Amino acid sequence: MIKKIGILLLISSSVIAQDKGKFESYSNNFYGKIVEESKEYDKGEKEEYKSFKMNFDGKQIPQSLDEFTIIEAENPISQGNTGTCWCFSTTSFYESEIHRITGKTINLSELYPVYFEYIEKARGFINTRGNTHLGEGSETNAVQRMMDWYGIVPAEAYEGKPSDQPYYNHEGMFKEFEAYLKNCKQINFWDEGAILSNIKAILNHYMGVPPTSFKYNGKTYTPKSFLKNVTKLKPNDYVDFMSLMQKPYWSQEEYKVPDNWWKSDAYYNVPLDEFMFAVKNAIENGYSISIGGDVSESGYSSTHDVAMVPSYDIPSEHIDENARQFRFSNGTTT
């Protein structure tokens, strides 16, 4: 009897003395030092990249928006790390148009057209067996086209990113989008239904699923009914124009740049003087416009929010349709 009690006591004391585990961040100071120093070595000394830009010191340039008569527009928001300037700028244009037409102030979703533009890019890639440009960019009339096909929604109905993500970032999304489509081309797989289903899965993961219906001011709308009944916009009422000598003037032609991936030939090609008259006349009469421009030009400064033509490029009084065509043809401007 005494032996049995001793065994029980031994078991009891062993249970009490059991060790415990805990979760903690991985730490190995020696190995961590190896990793960090290896990273520093791999970086090497890289020369800082600098671009040649116009020096605005001493120039009399605008200092405030208060110096201008401003056409009604929503406050601009950042496109973050995305190649969607084409949609953010054009959406702003349509917001101004809504105010001009209806007097309403409506903040539209910039990412709703972007979602469907990616769908159509994938469809175009399939239909051409991979012979279309794949990039994040597009053109002003892509927004017009997506609105006509898919409608539009207010920003509150579709943010187009996780709510806790501070800025838009399509770096990872586009890498997946591009890699998947290029792989389809490599293995000669062209099942449109299957491919578009997988593309939607990628977009839904990064951007979220766009709504098919939503509530706005207490009423339920679809994207198309919101476009028609609330915004009053008619996308096909808007036109695009360009000025290039390589195509006949006063005709609708293709704007041949990579971002016009679907080869839209809806652009009215007009002489440069007419182009500038249309721009100035619209602004002077209270209309907003959406312009596609080249922000890599030496005379454009994001720091000062100013764009000028430097004299070392070409004296502005010498700019004519020939100078314009020359720079478009050699790829130095759009």
Domain boundaries, the chain: 77-237
**Percent of the chain scoring above 70 in pLDDT:** 91
Give the mean pLDDT of 6-29: 60
pLDDT in tens, 73-130: 998 889 999 999 999 999 999 999 999 999 999 999 999 999 999 999 999 999 999 9
Report the alpha-carbon distance of residue 334 to residue 331 in Å, rounded. Answer: 7
pTM: 0.86
Q: Which CATH class is domain 77-237?
A: alpha beta
The phi and psi torsions of 215 (rounded to 5 degrees) equal: -100, 140
pLDDT value of position 296: 85
Q: What counts of helices (H) and strands (E) characterise the chain? A: 10, 7
pLDDT in tens, 274-296: 999 999 999 999 999 999 888 88
Report the alpha-carbon distance of residue 309 to residue 294 in Å, rounded. Answer: 12
Report the alpha-carbon distance of residue 108 to residue 74 in Å, rounded. Answer: 9
pLDDT value of position 24: 61
**216 forms bridges with which residues in the sheet?**
219
pLDDT class of 11 with cuts at 50, 70, 90: very low
Alpha helices in the chain (DSSP H): 2-16, 29-43, 85-102, 111-127, 140-150, 171-186, 192-207, 223-226, 272-284, 321-329
